[in-house]
Chains A and B, each alone.
Chain A
Amino acid sequence: MKEVVIISGKGGTGKTSFAASFAYLEKENAVIADCDVDAANMHLLLEADFRYQEDFYSGEIAVIDEENCINCGECKEVCRFDAIHVIDDQHRVDPISCEGCWYCSRVCPVEAIDMKTQKVGDFYLSMTKAQSEMVHAKLGFAAENSGKLVAKVKNEAKKLTLANKKEFLIVDGSPGVGCPVISSLSGADLALLVTEATVSGLHDLKRVYKLVKSFNIEAACIINKYDLNIDVTKEIEAFLEEEDITLITKIAYDETFAKALSQAKTIIEYGDSSLKTEIEKSWQYIKNILRS
């Protein structure tokens, strides 16, 4: 099994459109994981059927038993997250601020604080229209622990890929460089960096690559919208060369991405275009890297 994780640093560079197209090309030979759990989109392009759902629990929040609480204020005193407030003469927990550290519960002299496990999201297994299995999730509104939910999606996807003897695991990552991205990168064979020819695209590419490098993961890059700014494209190419990152391809600014998306189609299904050919070649190139 070989695993490619598609990330970008900056959002909106085309990660999901590429990942879905690769998945569509590879059909049942690949398992797909959507690790962008707080803004998951892959299910829209691949028509995931949500055939299996499971509640995902992670972390806890403090709950004060108002019957037994003596309002001594010890809990409020120790809380570093400003999660305990006195409302109508009663100490109360703001569940959004509570980090689930248990400190208040440990110091409460009358044991009036319970820690309750929280459902923070939904975990799904689906079959897609490409006949591939897909692992995805949806983080609850205003919920925490997206890193842990990402880890769950990754681990289950890996197990599934191995158990069903599939050749590839295609992982769609999230933007940024923080905990969900770190979670989605762990154990990958290749990080595919999708960037765009804008000053932000280049800036964010450099930051996210620093992270990839610290994990010793091989990297390759697609430059999207390269013709928006040829000068920035040259700078990106120079950076890739300096860091020894394989340039897979450069793709021109193309509204076909949005048009295909609006019909819930991958670029591959949308009809013959130079863009489609370019993406097919790119996936072949990526597979060659993964197999070598």
Chain B
Amino acid sequence: MKITIASGKGGTGKTTISTNLSSYLAKEADVVLADLDVEEPNSKLFIEGNLIFEKACDKMVPQWKKEECTLCGNCEEVCRFNAVIKVGDEILVFPELCHSCYACSELCPTESLPMMPQKIGELKHFKTENLDFVEGRLDIGEEQAVPLISQVIEYIDEKFSQDTIKLFDAPPGTSCPVIEASRGSDFVILVTESTPFGLNDLKLAVETMRVLCQKFGVVINRHGIGDNGVEEYCNAEGIPIIAKIPNDRRVAELYSKGELIYPKIQEFETALKQIAQFVGGVK
């Protein structure tokens, strides 16, 4: 089973829920947690494990070979992303703009733009006593998170059986990286907080999940800190509220140190139990 933990708004507690839930579930089941927030991966800060595998992740970009090139300009013409440009008697490639569509390369009459791998980030696989953890980490300056996210998901699909519970810690927002992290999942947990910002971004996340035809439910974090808008909205829309985690400064303090919460705070463990029961019932 695959479960994505997403949010719309940043800083609502995705990583807190992901790391604690995976550790909690791993006591009784095979679990792998994947940090797909590749722009700012934080889960590792909460999980201590041994590195058992790592690899560089690439995207394919064209590389100009001038020998056979006739400077016909076809590559520049077919590229919709301005990643290949003819300047004088040279072809310039801008790898950060390239979407790896292969059109310039395969439509080149002289095969002068072979696709070559270029590093965009790293994948690391750690193992703790009973939990597998895989992290994607985008190199600074790389613009596109999606190719890296999809490679981490591919790795998880290859390495882990159907029976393993797969938890994906998604990036914030509602655009391409979140879609990539959510679309293959069986269920999406949307983490929000009970403030107008939390509500506004939850609505955007809900609409995105509806476009993707995803099953989803809501966890309200820091419950009690703001107002009742989120609960009223979920009730009006018939969206299940899976758990409410009370606002508690002690949670923030444990989080600040990189510690797991549920071994120390009873209410938090109760909420995890509710989440586990809910997703256990999703088929």
Give the interface of A toward B (CB within 8 A).
9-13, 16, 38-39, 41, 44, 60, 78, 80-81, 96, 99-103, 106, 139, 141-144, 146-147, 174-182, 196-201, 203-204, 207-208, 210-211, 214, 225, 228-229, 232, 253, 255, 258-259, 261-262, 264
Nearest Cβ distance between residue B140 and chain A, in whole angstroms?
Answer: 5
- For A197, give the chain B residue with the smallest CB separation: B256
Q: Are A142 and B179 in contact (CB under 8 A)?
A: yes
Q: How many residues of B contact A (CB 8 A)?
A: 61
| Measured CA separation A174–B8 after assembly (Å) | 11
Known contacts: A44-B196, A176-B172. The answer to whether A39 contacts B9 by CB under 8 A is: yes
List the 9 closest pairs (A to B, CB-CB), nearest first: A12-B11, A11-B10, A101-B101, A176-B39, A229-B256, A198-B256, A179-B143, A11-B11, A103-B103
Partner of B100 from A13, A80, A100, A182 at Cβ < 8 Å: A80
A residues near B142, Cβ cutoff 8 Å: 178
Residue B29 lies at the interface, judged by CB distance under 8 Å to chain A: no
Q: Among B107, B173, B257, which residue has its beta carbon within 8 angstroms of that of A229?
A: B257
By the criterion CB–CB under 8 Å, are A102 and B173 in contact? no
- Distance to closest chain B CB from A23 (angstroms): 16
Further 16 A-B residue pairs, CB within 8 A, beyond A16-B197, A178-B144: A10-B40, A12-B9, A12-B12, A38-B204, A80-B101, A139-B174, A139-B175, A142-B208, A142-B212, A177-B138, A179-B143, A199-B45, A207-B40, A211-B140, A228-B253, A264-B196
What are some 22 contacts across the A-B interface (CB < 8 A)? Answer: A10-B10, A10-B11, A11-B10, A13-B11, A38-B174, A39-B204, A41-B196, A81-B101, A99-B99, A100-B80, A102-B103, A103-B103, A141-B174, A142-B212, A144-B175, A146-B173, A178-B177, A197-B256, A204-B42, A214-B140, A228-B253, A255-B225
CA distance A191 to B212 in the complex (A): 35
User: How far apart are A223's CB and chain B's nearest CB, in angstroms?
Assistant: 12
Residues of A within 8 A of B172 (CB): 11, 39, 175-176
Q: Please tell me if the beta carbons of A178 and B138 are within 8 angstroms of each other in the complex.
A: yes
Choice from B80, B141, B177, B227 contacting A211 with Cβ under 8 Å: B141
A39 CB contact (under 8 Å) in B141, B173, B225: B173
User: How long is the Cα–Cα vector from A211 to B107 in the complex, in angstroms?
Assistant: 35
Q: Which residue of A lies closest to B137 (CB)?
A: A207
Whole-angstrom CA separation of A175 from B21 in the bound complex: 24
Q: Tell whether, in the assembled complex, residue A182 and residue B143 are in contact, meaning their CB atoms are under 8 Å apart.
A: yes
Question: Which residues from chain B contact A10 at a C-beta distance below 8 Å?
Answer: 10-11, 40, 42
> Chain B contacts of A208 at CB under 8 A?
40
Q: CA of A76 to CA of B2 in the docked complex: distance in angstroms?
A: 27
Which listed residue (B212, B225, B257) contacts A96, Cβ 8 A?
Answer: B212
Q: Is there contact, CB below 8 Å, between A253 and B9?
A: no
Q: Does B90 contact A (CB under 8 A)?
A: no
Complex Cα distance A142/B214, Å? 12
Which of B9, B15, B183, B197 has the most chain A CB atoms inside 10 A of its CB? B197
Q: In the complex, what distance in Å separates the CA atom of A100 from the CA atom of B101?
A: 9
Q: Is the CB of A203 within 8 A of B174?
A: no
Question: What residues of A have a CB within 8 angstroms of the CB of B249 in the complex?
Answer: 228, 253
| Chain B contacts for A147, CB-based, 8 A | 143
Nearest-neighbour CB distance to chain B for A235, whole angstroms, equals 11
Instruction: Identify the closest chain B residue to A212 (Cβ).
Output: B140
Q: How far is the CA of A62 from the CA of B212 in the complex (A)?
A: 18
Q: Which of A78, A178, A259 has the most CB of B within 10 A?
A: A178
Chain B proximity of A110: nearest CB distance (Å)? 18
Q: Please tell me if B240 contacts chain A, counting CB pairs below 8 Å.
A: no
A258: contacting residue among B37, B173, B226, B255, CB under 8 A: B226
**Cα distance A96–B81 in the bound complex, in angstroms:** 18
The docked-state distance in angstroms from the alpha carbon of A207 to that of B40 is 8
How many angstroms between the C-alpha atoms of A210 and B129 in the bound complex?
34
Closest-CB distance, A181 to chain B (whole angstroms): 8
Q: B140 and A177: CB pair below 8 A?
A: yes
Known A142-B208, A142-B211, A261-B226: A41·B141 in contact at CB below 8 Å: no
Q: Are A41 and B226 in contact (CB under 8 A)?
A: no
**Using Cβ atoms and an 8 Å threshold, which residues of chain A touch B70?**
none
| A14 CA to B258 CA, complexed, in Å | 20
Any chain A CB within 8 A of the CB of B92?
A: no
- Interface membership of B265, Cβ < 8 A: no
